[in-house]
Amino acid sequence: MLKLFEREQLDLATLSPEQTAMDVRDLNLRYGQKHVLHNITMRVPKHRITAFIGQSGCGKSSLLSCFNRMNDLIDNSKTEGQIIIDGRDINGKKENLSLLRSQVGMVFQRPNPFPMSVYDNVCYGLRLQGVKQRRQLDDAVEQALIEAALWDEVKDRLFDSATTLSGGQQQRLVIARALALKPSILLLDEPTSALDPLTTLIIEELMAELKKRCTIIIVTHNMQQAARVSDYTAFLHQGALVEYSDSDTLFTMPDKKQTEDYITGRYG
Amino acid sequence: MGKWSIDRVLSNRQQQSYVVNIGAFCAALLIVALVCILSLIALRGLDYFWPQPVQSITFTSPTGQSQQVYAQVGERHINSAQQNATTDVLFQYSDKHYPYGRQVLIESQFMGQITTAPEAANILLNDGTRVFSQPIDIRLPGEETTSLANFQDVRATVADIRQLIESLREAKLAPIHRDLAQLDLRQVERDAPARLRLYESFERWQQEAVRFETQLTDYQLHTRFSDGSEFFIPIDSIARLSYPGQLDTLGKLKLVWSGIGDFLTQAPKQANTAGGVFPALFGTVLMIFVMTILVTPFGVLAAVYLNEYAPNNHYTSVIRICVSNMAGVPSIVYGVFGLGFFVYQVGGNIDKLFFSDALPAPTMGTPGVFWASLTMAILTLPVVIVATEEGLKRVPEGLRAGSYALGATKLETIWHTVLPMASPGIMTGVILAIARAAGEVAPLMMVGAVKFAPNLPFDGEFPYLHLDRQFMHLGVLIYDGAFHSQTDVRSASLMFASCLLLLFVVFVLNVLTVILRRRLRKRYLRGY
């Protein structure tokens, strides 16, 4: 509980451009006829952990996928509005998706290591960018694995298949894989829902450590988790942003009735 | 529940036991059938190599003469077409009129006594014919004789002389031929001194070779037939001499072993009724390899397009249905297509464009091993496409998303993540394709497989691999053998031996691909 008071609060309403990692303006998302996200406008502060909570199907994962344009892979998805990262709108036509996705890393619900060695998994993104020098790759792998708190466990088996690791190790490997590209933003889509409580704790501690290096946005079903790890929380309901404030306020004195109902478990 | 519902007759437990029993029965039947087929082919095939005894028999020929000969007696056929059923005996014998063997089918009542003849030898000649007679001694040049004990030494001497002749041909005569051809090319006068000098030296070496050849014919094996008449066989022409009547089991096994060796390494003789099957074995394996090299990239690319790129609409499903239906098209249709399109159209046009100075003799516009492989590739394409698509579908969506999330493009994702994981599926397709292609005969006969090909598609001459040549194929050899089998004592077994070999080839190729698939599975699919 002491941790609560250590948080350095920023006022979301008056966030300066230097403090903003991402500025979302009037974002609408449609899958065919289905209107998934309605006029989302929000600013995500830099070097903080922001959590998205809400019912299943409320659009929080879809919103997350907008931030590195993974929605482009879905047929007839249509995005309107702006998402500004580093002063440019990533929904622009000229956006380099490879570059964007290396800048905005993403980790999924189920650990998805590639069927290759631990080393090759971490190198995957770098090799795509054309890095070939062995020494450079070695350094990047070591650093990424240290950052993901996995180095001590796998340093002797770097060339074993990644699928032989345990679930929690696999998830940290996937995080390391994203970190190797030095992203400024890390998107975590329910990263612990397939893991046991102890492993969840390891990942949560890791997130607290990682926010020094990058901005983290996490989608979670677990409200305790959101309250524990996040600095700011956004509550989404049926594709609309209902409430967005610092986590302490949202979980203790929610502004809206819907938010209160959700966090007290009256529905959802 | 109706009146005749099964539940009224049988309890649940009984139903289950019936289903299990019937299922087990069907599975057992299948295994028995498989074992029967395999053991029949294996027994009949190995029978070809097992030394059969040479017997001394007497028989009465239709002209009324009684004759004693050395012979190998084959099958007995019950002849039930006539009113009172008789037994026919098929045998092959040698005598002074037919020293190189003659097949006779006579009714058993004309057969006299049959006795074993351990003294008689089965003499296999280089051209594949066999002589049954009793060796007496060996004739050497200068009317000398030596005993049979020296047979191996004499053979070694003969082999040395033979080699001498060959090297003479190779080292002396062939260069002169080449030089003469050069002169022809430069259009040198017919009576130019260079030409005359070459003629002269050619004459000299030719005489030398002929002298050695005549010397060779002086080494002869002196043998005697059952009726006492004598027969001389040039030792140079003997491939193998054995006494089947004197052999113990170990000796017979040795003979079987060397027989299998000859079978695998030698060319067919006597119009595919004797000798080995090496060209057919080589042709089959080469055709399958070239086909695999052609079909795998095509099939994989098509499957990748269908599964990863093609929009999910009616056109794509029509294409999918077409692909599946292609697998059901009779293979002879592919043969006709290969002949009409690849050989005549494509090959003909290649000839017009690149080999026009050789026309009207076709270079590519004639059936050959490349066109056969291409036809087989088309025939097995649907199998590879379907199996690869299955493999692609099994790649978890999460892995693709993970790859995209690291900045990979679609192509990079397919190349680095999807294809490696689908590789066991691709291997399954290749296994099925090999099995299908190895068994085809009809389309191959239209696009390049022949009963007898004078040259292998591979030799020491540039470009070493001649994919435009016609080739021999085990399936075609078996098909051809089926027509001899009615009349020949041993060629039926040759057909079975070829069958056994074909099965073995398919088995080995499949085992290789299965091992590869297992390794790929272990590497890419462990943990999924």
Q: Which residue of B has its CA nearest to A96?
A: B407
pLDDT value, residue B83: 65
Percentage above 70 pLDDT, chain B: 95
Answer for the pair B237, B147: CB distance below 8 angstroms, yes or no: no
Are A112 and B396 in contact (CB < 8 Å)? yes
Answer for the pair B65, B451: CB distance below 8 angstroms, yes or no: no
Are B407 and A174 in contact (CB < 8 Å)? no
Q: Which residues pair with A27 in a beta bridge?
A: A40
Packed helices B491-524 and B474-484: angle between N→C axes, nearest 10 degrees: 160
Residues of A in contact with B415 (CB under 8 A): none
pLDDT value, residue B528: 65
Residues of A in contact with B398 (CB under 8 A): 108, 110, 112
Residues of B in contact with A161 (CB under 8 A): 523, 526-527
Residues of B in contact with A97 (CB under 8 A): 407, 409
Are B405 and A99 in contact (CB < 8 Å)? no
Answer for the pair B328, B410: CB distance below 8 angstroms, yes or no: no
Residue B138 has pLDDT above 50, yes or no: yes
**A101, A126, A170, A186, best to mutate vs chain B, most B CBs in 10 Å:** A101
Lowest-confidence range among A254-263, B100-109, B321-330, B420-429?
Answer: B100-109
**B397, B406, B414, best to mutate vs chain A, most A CBs in 10 Å:** B406
Give the 3-state secondary structure of residue B75.
Answer: strand
Entry pTM: 0.79
Closest partner residue to B528 among A75, A106, A163, by Cβ? A163
Answer for the pair B448, B368: CB distance below 8 angstroms, yes or no: yes
Lowest-confidence range among A229-233, B243-247, B356-360?
Answer: B356-360
Are B416 and A164 in contact (CB < 8 Å)? no
Residues of A in contact with B413 (CB under 8 A): none
Which carries the bigger pLDDT value, residue A28 or residue B115? A28
Please report, for residues B250, B467, B522, the alpha-carbon distance to residue B367 in angstroms, rounded to integers and kept in the order given: 46, 10, 42
Which carries the bigger pLDDT value, residue A170 or residue A264? A170
Q: Which residues of B319-356 are buried (b: 16+ CB within 10 A; e: fewer)?
A: ebeebeebeeeebeebbebbbeebbbeebbeebeeebe
Interface of A with B (CB under 8 A): 68, 70, 73, 75, 97-102, 105-106, 108, 110, 112-116, 124-125, 128-129, 161, 163-164, 174, 177-178, 181
Residue B249 has pLDDT above 80, yes or no: yes
Lowest-confidence range among A6-20, A51-65, A233-247, B59-73?
Answer: A6-20
CA B409 to chain A, closest CA, distance in angstroms equals 7
Query: What sign for the dihedral angle of Cα B457, B458, B459, B464?
Result: positive
**Residue A243 belongs to some domain of the structure:** yes
DSSP tally for chain A: helices H, then strands E = 11, 10
Q: Which residues pair with B66 in a beta bridge?
A: B60
Closest by CA to A258, choosing from A225, A236, A239, A230, is A236
* Cα B236 from Cα B156, distance rounded (Å): 10
Are A73 and B412 in contact (CB < 8 Å)? no
Triad A253, A256, A260: Cα angle to 5°:
60
Q: Which residue of A has its CA nearest to B419?
A: A115
CA A124 to chain B, closest CA, distance in angstroms equals 8
**What six digits make up the tokens of B270?**
């006597």
Tokens 């109902």 locate to A261
Residue B63 has pLDDT above 80, yes or no: no
| Pairing of the two strands B111-116 and B144-146 | unpaired
* Cα A58 from Cα B303, distance rounded (Å): 36
Q: Which of the given ranges, A39-43, B98-102, B116-120, B182-186, has the highest pLDDT on average?
A: A39-43
- Mean pLDDT along residues B344-358: 83
DSSP B216-243: HHT-EEEEE-TTS-EEEEEGGGEEEEE-
Residues of A in contact with B408 (CB under 8 A): 98, 124-125, 128
Name residue B345's amino acid: Q
**Residue A237 belongs to some domain of the structure:** yes
Are B408 and A128 in contact (CB < 8 Å)? yes
Are B523 and A161 in contact (CB < 8 Å)? yes
Q: Which residues pair with B465 in a beta bridge?
A: B458
Are B407 and A110 in contact (CB < 8 Å)? no
Digit-coded pLDDT (tens) for B250-293? 888 888 898 888 888 888 877 777 778 888 899 999 999 999 99
Closest partner residue to B405 among A106, A113, A161, by Cβ? A106
Residue A4 has pLDDT above 70, yes or no: no
* Cα B422 from Cα B510, distance rounded (Å): 18
**Residue A268 belongs to some domain of the structure:** no
Give the 3-state secondary structure of residue A47.
Answer: coil
Name residue A24's amino acid: V
Residues of B in contact with A98 (CB under 8 A): 407-409
CA B410 to chain A, closest CA, distance in angstroms equals 10
Reported as a pLDDT band with limits 50, 70 and 90, residue B79 is low
**Residue A148 belongs to some domain of the structure:** yes
Q: Which residues of A195-215 are buried (b: 16+ CB within 10 A; e: fewer)?
A: beeebbebbbebbeebbeebb
Are B527 and A101 in contact (CB < 8 Å)? no
* Cα B229 from Cα B233, distance rounded (Å): 13
Are B421 and A108 in contact (CB < 8 Å)? no
Residue A2 has pLDDT above 60, yes or no: no
Residue A97 has pLDDT above 70, yes or no: yes
Name residue B215's amino acid: Q
Digit-coded pLDDT (tens) for B447-480? 988 888 777 887 777 777 778 888 888 888 888 8
- Mean pLDDT along residues A107-122: 90
Closest partner residue to B404 among A73, A110, A178, by Cβ? A73
**What six digits make up the tokens of B463?**
């470009």
Are A102 and B525 in contact (CB < 8 Å)? no
Which carries the bigger pLDDT value, residue B301 or residue B63? B301
pLDDT value, residue B134: 87
* Cα B457 from Cα B283, distance rounded (Å): 8
**Residue A104 belongs to some domain of the structure:** yes
Closest partner residue to A128 among B406, B420, B528, by Cβ? B406
CA A113 to chain B, closest CA, distance in angstroms equals 7
Are B527 and A161 in contact (CB < 8 Å)? yes
- Mean pLDDT along residues B9-38: 91
Q: Please count the structural domains in chain A.
A: 1
Residue B398 has pLDDT above 60, yes or no: yes
**Residue A198 belongs to some domain of the structure:** yes
Are B402 and A174 in contact (CB < 8 Å)? yes
Q: Which residue of A has its CA nearest to B408?
A: A98
The domain of A197 spans 2-263
Cis before residue B360, ω within 30 degrees of 0? yes
CA A135 to chain B, closest CA, distance in angstroms equals 21
Give the 3-state secondary structure of residue A21.
Answer: strand
Residues of A in contact with B420 (CB under 8 A): 115-116
* Cα A182 from Cα A177, distance rounded (Å): 10
Task: Tell the burial category of B221 from Cβ atoms under 10 Å away from its Cβ (0-12, 13-18, 19+).
Answer: buried
- Mean pLDDT along residues B110-124: 82
Tokens 């079987």 locate to B256
Are B527 and A164 in contact (CB < 8 Å)? yes
Percentage above 90 pLDDT, chain B: 20
- Mean pLDDT along residues B143-149: 80
Residue B78 has pLDDT above 70, yes or no: no
pLDDT value, residue A196: 85
Answer for the pair B414, B391: CB distance below 8 angstroms, yes or no: no
Closest partner residue to B406 among A115, A164, A181, by Cβ? A181
Q: Which helix H or strand E contains B215, and what residues bound it? A: helix B193-217
Triad A80, A82, A87: Cα angle to 5°:
160
**Residue A43 belongs to some domain of the structure:** yes
**Residue A109 belongs to some domain of the structure:** yes
pLDDT value, residue A8: 63
pLDDT value, residue A1: 44
What CATH code is carried by the domain that includes residue A246? 3.40.50.300
* Cα B328 from Cα B379, distance rounded (Å): 10
Q: Where do the DSSP E strands lie in chain A?
A: 20-31, 34-45, 49-54, 77-85, 88-89, 104-107, 185-189, 215-219, 232-237, 240-246
Residues of B in contact with A117 (CB under 8 A): none
Residues of A in contact with B525 (CB under 8 A): 115
* Cα A229 from Cα B86, distance rounded (Å): 100
Interface of B with A (CB under 8 A): 312, 396, 398-399, 401-409, 412, 416-417, 420-421, 523-528
DSSP A100-145: HHHHEEEE-SS----SSBHHHHHHHHHHHTT---HHHHHHHHHHHH
Q: Which helix H or strand E contains B115, and what residues bound it? A: strand B111-116
Residue B225 has pLDDT above 80, yes or no: yes
Work out the number of other CB atoms within 10 angstroms of the CB of residue B84. Answer: 6
* Cα B88 from Cα B156, distance rounded (Å): 43
DSSP B405-427: HTT--HHHHIIIIIHHHHHHHHH
* Cα A236 from Cα B378, distance rounded (Å): 55
Residues of B in contact with A73 (CB under 8 A): 401, 404
**A67, A72, A76, A98, best to mutate vs chain B, most B CBs in 10 Å:** A98
Are A115 and B524 in contact (CB < 8 Å)? yes
Are A70 and B405 in contact (CB < 8 Å)? yes
**What six digits make up the tokens of A232?**
């700011």
Residue B164 has pLDDT above 90, yes or no: no
Average pLDDT, chain B: 85
